[in-house]
Amino acid sequence: MRSGVVIFPGSNCDRDMIVALRQITGKTPIKIWHKENDFPNLDLIVVPGGFTFGDYLRCGALAARSPVISSIKNHISRGGTVLGVCNGFQILIEAKILPGSLIRNKKLLFTCRETTLEVQNCMKNPFLSGFKIGECLKIPVAHNEGNYFAPKELLKQLKEEGRIALKYSKQNNSEKNYNPNGSSDDIAGILSTNGRVLGMMPHPERAINYLHGGTDGLKLLTNCVKQIIG
């Protein structure tokens, strides 16, 4: 299993993701600096969270124009797997690798808390295949712009193509604000057309240890690694 974590100026969850992947694979992922477009073939590329370029423009907009993006696109066109978390999800959207947009949270406040995610009946993909449909995962979010927004036609299309991977769940959640950001259809994560790219707002790398309050993030990432190495 060869994995890499992309680092932009302002990335701040790169170390956390490296720790998680090392814990699972026993190997340290390579660090890919945003100016690089020449790195070895990898099984998995993770675009981690953070505030790339300060998010002073639209979140992820500047990072999406970095040299590394074309290499990520090449990796995808070769059938490679990519996971974008939080700001990484925003970058994948700004790079037009995933459709839709991520706008300000409905309450206009940064939100950091645990959420319950529900695995959707979606297309075959290396991230969630193996989980039961409707299975719940407790994974925290921490973001300002995680409100997934898409026009009705796109939402319909995503649903029909089985590309809605994770939703914030009403199940087992007494809080009326189970959806932390007001996203359309409670969407927390979506897949690319071929199912090899997942963008998600919650941070699986922050739920890898029972001391974090849960290990569902570990479960998700471990599943992903298993599916990739077959």
Partner 1 sequence: MEPQLKLLKINKNEYLAQQKSKLEDALDMGLTKNEYDLICKKIDKTPNMTELGVFSAMFSEHCSYKSSKKWLKTLPTEASHVIQGPGENAGVIDIGQNLAAVFKIESHNHPSFIEPYQGSATGVGGILRDVFTMGARPIALMNALRFGPPDQPLTKHLVSGVVKGIGGYGNCIGIPTVGGETNFDKSYDGNILVNAMAVGLAKKDRIFYSAATGAGNPVIYVGAKTGRDGIHGATMASTEFTENSAEKRPTVQVGDPFTGKLLLEACLELMNTDAVLSIQDMGAAGLTSSSVEMASKGSLGMNLNLDLVPTREDKMTSYEIMLSESQERMLMILKPGSEEKAKSIFDKWDLDFAIIGEVTNTGRLILTKDGFEACNLPLEPLVEDAPEYNKPYEIKTDKKVLKPSDLKINLTIIDILKTIFKNPNISSKKWIWEQYDSSVMGDTIFTNGESDASIVKIHGTEKKESYGKGLAITTDCTPRYVKSDPIIGGMQAVCEAARNIASSGAKPLAITNNLNFGNPDKKNVMGEIVGSIKGISEAASFLGTPIVSGNVSLYNETNGKSILPTPVIGMVGAIDEVENSLAISAKLDNVLLVLGQSVNFETGWIGCSIYQEVINKKYDGAPPPINLENEKKVIEILLKLNEKKLLTAAHDISDGGLLTTVCEMLFKYNLGLNINLPSNLINCNSYDPLLQSWCFGEDQARIIIATKDIKKVKLILKENNVDFFVLGQTNSSSNLNLKDIATISINEIKKINEKTIPSMMGD
Q: What type of residue is 167?
A: K
Neighbour count for residue 221 (Cβ, 10 Å): 24
Find, among 134, 127, 140, the residue nearest to 204 by Cα.
Answer: 140
Q: Is 205 a catalytic residue?
A: yes
Residue 188 is a binding residue for partner 1 (CB under 8 A): no
Strand intervals (E) in 20-80: 30-33, 44-47
User: Is-catalytic flag, 114?
Assistant: no
Site for partner 1 in 2-41 (CB under 8 A): 9-10, 12-13, 15-16, 19-20
Please identify which of the residues 34, 122, 205, 224 carries the catalytic annotation: 205
Burial of 171 (0-12, 13-18, 19+ CB in 10 A): exposed
Shortest distance, CB of residue 110 to partner 1, whole angstroms? 5
> Order of strands across the sheet with 30-33?
30-33, 3-7, 44-47, 81-85, 197-200, 187-191, 164-168, 111-119, 136-143
* From 118, 143, 203, 224, the catalytic residue: 203
Q: How far is the CB of 197 from partner 1 (least distance, A)?
A: 24
Alpha helices in 26-180 (DSSP H): 68-77, 87-94, 152-160
Catalytic site includes residue 112: no
Instruction: Tell me which of 59, 86, 122, 224 is the catalytic residue.
Output: 86
> Based on CB atoms, which residue is closest to partner 1, 113 or 156?
113
Of 107, 133, 134, 171, the residue at the interface with partner 1 (CB under 8 A) is 107
Binding interface with partner 1 (CB under 8 A): 9-10, 12-13, 15-16, 19-20, 49-51, 53-56, 107, 109-113, 140, 142, 144, 203, 205-206, 208-209, 211-212
Q: Which residues are catalytically annotated?
A: 86, 203, 205
